[in-house]
Amino acid sequence: MSETTTSTAPRIELPIRGGEWQRPDAAELEAMQVVGSATACSKLHGLGIRRSFVEGPRPLVPGQKVVGSALTLQFMPQREDLASGLAQEYVERHTALWAVMETVQPGDVLVIQAYGSAFSGCIGDILARYFKRKGGAGIVVDGRIRDAGRIRELGIPVWSTGATPHYASQSELFPWAYDVPVAVGGVLCMPGDFVVADDDGPVVVPQALAGEVRESASDHQEWEVFSRQRLDEGARLSDYYPLNEGTRAEYEAWRAAAASRR
């Protein structure tokens, strides 16, 4: 008696979309604009979050900054029985890469998990152009982009590990899921988290901690203005960075005087 065994690939419906999540409201987003990545990173460390810096991606155009709400996109390794780029880039219109573009809202920062791949151009000129038209604020890619020159001309802030001529699924990865947790540069990013990115790199701020970070950062950045002024006037570094008890009182008087002049 012979037995016949039928082997089938797992039934997976792509693209995968994660569950519901909440964007920060417009007032929260506006209030966070004053926070820089270095300050956010240090304040998060004080709150117990040791990994917030997205290591690897650098700004395509130095001097740009973005603060926005994380919209997440996950690439996964290709496996030919489930998802591959063999059908060329035309297959991508049915993937998470195209699907996530239809969900973009003003203030979103697209955060892409791509394992630092040097061979997958996760975003190109056309998609970046569409993303910007829909109000997207910026893009952080733990991997490469393509059409770097055209994206630079668009003016949209982008952080990536470099450029490649490959399209997104040409080599080793495939756009798999969106609205899901992603790992970028060693950091966990959840949909709706804040992303703060500037010349120091991108930092992920958990949405639930944004208020504490913002409040602490505002005071920190203001006293740094005071300290720079005093140091430029010849003061001792150890007295003004950080402030001690005496110079903190001096700073409070300086701040009160500045407020009264407004």
- For the chain, what is the mean pLDDT? 91
Tell me, yes or no, whether 96 lies in a domain. yes
The half-sphere exposure of 216 on its side-chain side, counting CA atoms within 13 A, is: 15
Please list the residues that pair with 17 across neighbouring strands.
Answer: 178
* Residue 20 reports pLDDT greater than 90: yes
Please tell me the predicted confidence (pLDDT) of residue 27: 95
Shared domain check, 58 and 145? yes
Please tell me the predicted confidence (pLDDT) of residue 88: 53
The answer to whether 132 and 112 have CB atoms below 8 angstroms apart is no
Tell me, yes or no, whether 5 lies in a domain. no
- Run of H or E residues at 163: strand 162-163
* Residue 171 reports pLDDT greater than 60: yes
Helix (H, G, I), strand (E, B) or coil at 82: coil
Please tell me the predicted confidence (pLDDT) of residue 5: 47
Shared domain check, 176 and 230? no
Pairwise CA distance, residues 188 & 183, whole Å? 5
* Residue 193 reports pLDDT greater than 80: yes
Bridge-based pairing state of the strands 182-184 and 187-189: antiparallel
Best-predicted range by mean pLDDT among 6-10, 117-121, 239-243? 117-121
Bridge-based pairing state of the strands 173-178 and 162-163: unpaired
Q: What is the pLDDT of residues 39-94, one digit of tens each?
A: 999 999 999 999 999 999 999 999 999 999 999 999 999 987 887 766 555 566 78
Higher pLDDT pick, 261 / 22 = 22
Please tell me the predicted confidence (pLDDT) of residue 236: 92
Tell me, yes or no, whether 120 lies in a domain. yes
Pairwise CA distance, residues 72 & 68, whole Å? 12
Shared domain check, 78 and 160? yes
Pairwise CA distance, residues 157 & 108, whole Å? 12
Shared domain check, 219 and 174? no
Shared domain check, 165 and 114? yes
Tell me, yes or no, whether 9 lies in a domain. no
Bridge-based pairing state of the strands 138-145 and 162-163: parallel
Bridge-based pairing state of the strands 182-184 and 16-17: unpaired
Shared domain check, 172 and 251? no
AA identity, residue 132: K
Please tell me the predicted confidence (pLDDT) of residue 47: 95
* Residue 119 reports pLDDT greater than 70: yes
- CA-CA-CA-CA torsion sign (99, 168, 21, 129): negative
Pairwise CA distance, residues 16 & 113, whole Å? 14
Parent domain of 107:
16-205
Helix (H, G, I), strand (E, B) or coil at 228: helix
Please tell me the predicted confidence (pLDDT) of residue 1: 42
98-108: average pLDDT:
97
Tell me, yes or no, whether 4 lies in a domain. no
* Residue 8 reports pLDDT greater than 70: no
Tell me, yes or no, whether 7 lies in a domain. no
Nearest to 175 by CA among 11, 15, 9: 15
Please tell me the predicted confidence (pLDDT) of residue 41: 96
The answer to whether 71 and 24 have CB atoms below 8 angstroms apart is no
124-128: average pLDDT:
97
* Residue 247 reports pLDDT greater than 70: yes
CA distances from 171 to 24, 87, 114, 134 (A): 36, 12, 12, 29
The answer to whether 170 and 89 have CB atoms below 8 angstroms apart is yes
128-140: average pLDDT:
98
Number of other residues whose CB lies within 10 A of the CB of residue 75 = 27
Please tell me the predicted confidence (pLDDT) of residue 82: 80
Q: What is the pLDDT of residues 141-154, one digit of tens each?
A: 999 999 999 999 99
Shared domain check, 224 and 200? no
Please tell me the predicted confidence (pLDDT) of residue 85: 63
Confidence of residue 205 (pLDDT cuts 50, 70, 90): very high
The label of the residue with tokens 């056309």 reads 126
Shared domain check, 180 and 114? yes
The label of the residue with tokens 């998060």 reads 44
Can you read off the two tokens belonging to residue 180?
Answer: 């899901």
**Count of domains for the chain:** 2
Q: Residue 94 maps to which CATH number?
A: 3.50.30.40
Shared domain check, 189 and 237? no
